[in-house]
Structure formats: structure tokens, C-alpha cells
Amino acid sequence: MWRCAEFERNIEWIDIDEEDRWQSAIIECAPNVIVHSAWIGVEADKRGSWSDQVKNIPFLVSLLEIGKSLRIKKFIFLGSQAEYGNISGKISETADVSALNAYAAIKLASLNVLQSFCELNDINWIWLRLFSIFGEREGDGWLIPHVIKEMVSGTSMALTPGAQKYAYLYVKDFARIIKAIIVEKCNSGVYNISSNEVQALDSLIKKIKAKVNPEFELNFGALPYRENQSMHMEGDITKISGQIGPINFTNFDVALNETINYYLTR
């Protein structure tokens, strides 16, 4: 909730833990678009838990039923690149899916539920497969804030060889994309949401080091790659660009500096 402090007064808040109230509260607000960005078990240590992941389906069904009752125009859902499995290059939405854990499997199950429900009830549905996102207010457990924290407080860090290449999308660009999808006409379907350029992790971490702590020791190769490590993770965004128009991405170095400055001054 602290992430919303700057604009919280502009939001009509509803507590979904109030089981006898939250659904009627949404209906009273009468939205015509629902953006479903909630998920139980996003953390790495929860992604293999079937009991945690499956809890996401009843909440999705509840939101869909609300959407049906309100005759909403559009239902937008945040999926994940994890649905593709092990990615080794730039990938399009036509690629095969391959769930390698419970998280990805339940995402794919939710996609089937969403598509069937919306097509039966004439609701425009948009499924967004998100790739790597970074920026201010990211959780400390993710790579960039974790590296910054280590460089501020320590002297060295054990790392994998760092040859992975990720298409890092700045969070403010992501927000603008979501806004465009809400406002613009967008055909029902699955869409990749990704940056259009990749960053090698070793190069990215060296950029952070140069700004945060030039004396910090980077021990590349001290750790092995994790099992099923994707070495080149990038989404082809031709399809979404065809719906909302060309995407003007923030220069990566500018976005990275904004992110680093946020953590250094927090």
C-alpha cells in the first residue's frame, strides 16, 4: 500500500478480505473496464506451491462474474512470460507454451477460464504476458534493488556468469502501455509486453556498480545458473504495437539512473 501513497486519495479502495462486502462494493462503483493485476504467490519460493497458486482461480471467477453482471467492455489480465517455459531468444505469441512450475500452470489455466468466459459473455479480453519489469518501488528481493542494496552495505557479491540477456521494461513505460490498452480499441487475445532491447546482466550490474560503488567486487561465475535458466528473454511486441501504435520507450540508461537514484535516496 505504501507504493500508492502519492495518489491514494484519488482511489476508491475496497478491501477484498471483507468477503461479504467487496463484490457488492465493486458493483456499486460500476466500472466498465477491469484490470486484474492481483496474484497470490508471485515470490520465487511460492511459485512451486500448487496449493497457493490454485487459490488465484476462484478470485478470477468472482471478478468475471462481476464483469458479466456489469456488462463491462473490457477485461485485462496480467499474465507472465513464464507461460512460455524456457525462453532462448525473442519470442512471439504463437510460440508453444510450457509450464515449468505451478505458477505458470495456473496462469495458463486462468487464461483458458478467461477466454472461455469472455467469449461466452461477449466481453473484450486482453491477456498480457509480461516480461522483465524494473523501476522505482520494486520489491527488495528482485535483482536491481537487491544489487543496489548489496553495493551500499557490502564490499563484494557472488554472481552467476551473468550472460543472461533480459528485455527490461521500465515501469513507467509499462504504466503508459496499460493506459493505452484501456483507452484504445484492442482486439481480444494474448499480447507480449516487453522492452524492445535486451540488457546483458553482467553489463547491467557493472553500470550499477559504476554509479553506486565503483570499488565493489563483482564475483561473476561464483554461482551456477539456476535450473531451466532462460538465457535470452525477450518478447516480440509487434502484435501489441499493431493495436495501440508504436511504443516510445524511455532510454534505458535514463530509466536505470532514475531507479538507482530512488534507492540511494530512500
Per-residue model confidence (pLDDT) at position 116 = 98
Residue 30 in domain: yes
The Cα–Cα gap between 99 and 114 comes to 18
- Across residues 73-85, what is the average pLDDT? 97
Residues 6+ apart with CB under 8 A from 97: 83, 84, 85, 104, 108
Domain count, the chain: 1
Binned at pLDDT 50, 70 and 90, residue 118 comes out as very high
- Across residues 217-229, what is the average pLDDT? 92
The Cα–Cα gap between 222 and 206 comes to 16
**Tens digit of each residue's pLDDT (9 = 90 or more) over 167-216:** 999 999 999 999 999 999 999 999 999 999 999 999 999 999 999 999 99
Query: Using the 8-state DSSP alphabet, how is residue 136 labeled?
Result: T
Residue 164 in domain: yes
Per-residue model confidence (pLDDT) at position 48 = 95
Residue 39 in domain: yes
Per-residue model confidence (pLDDT) at position 56 = 97
The Cα–Cα gap between 14 and 23 comes to 9
Per-residue model confidence (pLDDT) at position 227 = 83
Structural domain containing residue 96: 7-265
Residue 1 in domain: no
Per-residue model confidence (pLDDT) at position 261 = 97
Binned at pLDDT 50, 70 and 90, residue 1 comes out as confident
Residues 6+ apart with CB under 8 A from 222: 158, 159
Q: Does residue 19 register a pLDDT over 90? A: no
Residue 255 in domain: yes
Query: Using the 8-state DSSP alphabet, how is residue 101 labeled?
Result: S
Q: What is the edge-to-edge ordering of all strands in the sheet holding 88-91?
A: 88-91, 232-235, 165-166, 199-200
Work out the number of other CB atoms within 10 angstroms of the CB of residue 226. Answer: 9
Buried b (16+ CB within 10 A) or exposed e, 228-240: eebebbbbbbebb
CATH number, domain containing residue 21: 3.40.50.720
Tell me the percentage of the chain whose pLDDT exceeds 90.
91
- Across residues 140-158, what is the average pLDDT? 94
Tell me the percentage of the chain whose pLDDT exceeds 70.
100
- Across residues 120-145, what is the average pLDDT? 95
Residue 196 in domain: yes
From the list 254, 7, 43, 25, the residue with the least C-alpha distance to 140 is 43
Per-residue model confidence (pLDDT) at position 226 = 87
Whole-number average pLDDT of the chain: 95
Residue 2 in domain: no
Per-residue model confidence (pLDDT) at position 103 = 97
Residue 111 in domain: yes
